[in-house]
Structure 1
Amino acid sequence: MIRRLKYKEIDFEKYAACLENSEQRKYSASKTFLDVTTNKQWDILVYQDYEAVMPVPFILKKGVKIVHNPLICQQLGIFSAQDDQKINEKFLHFLQKNYLIRAYHFNETNTLDSKLKTKKNFLLYPGVYDQVFAKYSPKRKRKLRLDDEVKENSEIKEISFHEAEEFIRNNVVGLEKDNDANVLMQTLETFYSLQYLKFLAFYYHNEITNMIAIYSDYDTIALLGTFNDKKYIKMAGASTLIDYVIKENIESCIFDFEGGNLPSIEEFFRGFRPELKHYAVIENSKKKLIKDFAKFLMRGKLS
């Protein structure tokens, strides 16, 4: 039996226990991550007594819940001790029957019988750094051999959110709405204050040319943002930063690239020779939302 629980009804101890013991464990499904990225606007679907759970983030439009994965939250989905396709289908059916859905992303471990659109992600699993580096593409290895002049006049520094903010605002790309930049900055600042997030900057002649934001949680290091000054895009500062983080963490942590759907980004990530992972998504147009809204009104399903 699947139940829908509103935020105030969730037993967060049982929810956390289910996540921690799940085959699909993802940092992005944690209470902290969802509280920050959704401003506590999320429900959960629960199977039995928290044997499986499915977080459901939403936005409110005129009092109506519309399911929408929040900014920088790549994957959610179903979490259970063992992934079960039949149970996953029950969750999917319940979600589609009881919610208006703009965008919902499952995780790469979830198996589904239903044919849904998929997106790409890339993961590097723990290993000896020298062996991980040996698998990099020849092009990536060349990029990491910095010119002597660059090597002599560059350095990597961990910096504060305050130091990172202006560079991010000036160089962020790919956001759909004007307000998304403010939401992104607020989210990054909160994660930084909670000590989940670090900013690493590549300096050339004392000027920041590239920056990455990395999120750390248990056994995962996630690349939540890559920001580049286009004037220095050929200098390979971003590659150097990512390689630095991999070198420091790959023996004990998964490195999650958090993306790969744009051809240019996919090509860049593939240079590190990570494993390609597909995850299922539901994405509906505004036109379909309006149609579904009318159907839900007739059935009295909106809450």
Structure 2
Amino acid sequence: MIRRLKYHEIDFIKYAQCLENSEQKKYSATKDFLDITSEKQWEILVYKDYEAVMPVPFIRKYGIKIVHNPKLCQQLGVFSAQDDPELNERFLDYLKKNYLIRAYSFNDFNQLRTKLKLKKNFLIYPDSYEKVYARYSPKRKRKLRLDEEVVTNSEIKTIGYEEAKIFIEPNMIGLHKESDLPDFMRIFQLSNQLDYLKFSAFFYHQRIINVIATYSDCNMVALLGTFNDKDYVKLSGASVLIDKVIRETIETHIFDFEGGELPNIEEFFRGFRPALRPYPIMESSKEQLFKKFGSFLLKGKLF
């Protein structure tokens, strides 16, 4: 039996235990991450006594609850001790019948009979750094061999949120709208305050030219942002920063590139020779949402 629990009804101890013991464990489903990214606007679907759980984040438009993955939250879906396609279908069916869904991503472990759109993601699994580096593409290895002048006049540092913010805000690209920037910075700031997220910076002649933001939890290190001064892209500071994090963590942690849909980003990620791990996503157009909203009104299903 699948039940829907609102945020205040969730037993977070049982929820965390289910997530910790699940085959699909992801940092993006943890309470802290969802609290930060969704501002506590999430609830769960739960099977029996937390044998399986499915977090469901939402936004409100004109007072209407609409399911939507928060910014920087790539994958959610069903979490259980062993991935079960039949159970996953039951969760999916419950979700479709009881919610208005704008965008909801399952995780790369969830097997589904229903054919959903797949999106790309790339992972490097734990191994010795030497073996991981040996798999890098010849081009990526060349990029990591910095010129002597660059080596002499550069350094890598971990920096705080305020220093990172000064660099990130003018160098963040790919936003759908300007109003998204404060929300990204809010997520970065809160994650940094809780010690999940850190900023690594590449300095050249004492000036920051690259910053990456990495989030660490659940034996994963996720690349939540790469920011570059466009005038110094050819120096490959971003590659050096990512390689350093991989070198320091890959023996015990999965490195998650968190994306790869854009051709130039995919090409950059593939240079590290990660594994392709696609994940299913449900998406609805505004027209489809409006149509379903009408049917929900008739059935009295909106809550």
Q: TM-score, normalised by structure 1?
A: 0.99
Partner of 1:249: 249
Whole-Å separation in 1 of the counterparts to 2:95 and 2:102: 12
Partner of 2:98: 98
Q: Is the 8 A contact 2:88 2:110 kept in 1?
A: yes
Whole-Å separation in 2 of the counterparts to 1:8 and 1:249: 36
Amino acid at match of 1:173: I
Amino acid at match of 2:30: S
Moved more, 28-37 or 171-180: 171-180
Whole-Å separation in 1 of the counterparts to 2:220 and 2:124: 10
Whole-Å separation in 1 of the counterparts to 2:92 and 2:4: 13
Whole-Å separation in 2 of the counterparts to 1:132 and 1:272: 8
1:22 aligns with 2:22: yes
Partner of 2:237: 237
Partner of 1:120: 120
Identity %: 65
Q: 1:287 deviation in Å?
A: 1.2
Deviations 1:66-113 (A, max 9, x none): 000000000000000000000000000000000000000000000000
Q: 1:130 deviation in Å?
A: 0.8
Partner of 2:163: 163
Whole-Å separation in 1 of the counterparts to 2:287 and 2:157: 47
Deviations 1:242-298 (A, max 9, x none): 000000111111111111111111100000001000100011111111111111111
Q: 1:175 deviation in Å?
A: 1.5
Partner of 1:292: 292
Whole-Å separation in 1 of the counterparts to 2:96 and 2:177: 26
Amino acid at match of 1:48: K
Amino acid at match of 1:189: Q
Mapping for residues 137-152 of structure 1, pairs under 5 Å: 137-152=137-152
Whole-Å separation in 1 of the counterparts to 2:234 and 2:300: 56
SS at match of 2:162: helix
- Which stretches in structure 1 are left out of the alignment for 5+ residues? none
Q: TM-score, normalised by structure 2?
A: 0.99
Partner of 1:82: 82
SS at match of 1:302: coil
Runs of 4+ in 1 over 6 A off after TM superposition: none
Q: 1:177 deviation in Å?
A: 2.2
Q: 1:218 deviation in Å?
A: 3.5
Partner of 1:186: 186
Whole-Å separation in 2 of the counterparts to 1:54 and 1:33: 15
Whole-Å separation in 1 of the counterparts to 2:174 and 2:299: 38
Give the length in aligned residue pairs: 303
Amino acid at match of 1:17: Q
Whole-Å separation in 1 of the counterparts to 2:63 and 2:241: 44
Partner of 1:262: 262
Whole-Å separation in 1 of the counterparts to 2:173 and 2:50: 39
Whole-Å separation in 2 of the counterparts to 1:74 and 1:229: 25
Aligned-residue CA RMSD (Å)? 0.6
Q: Is the 8 A contact 2:25 2:218 kept in 1?
A: no
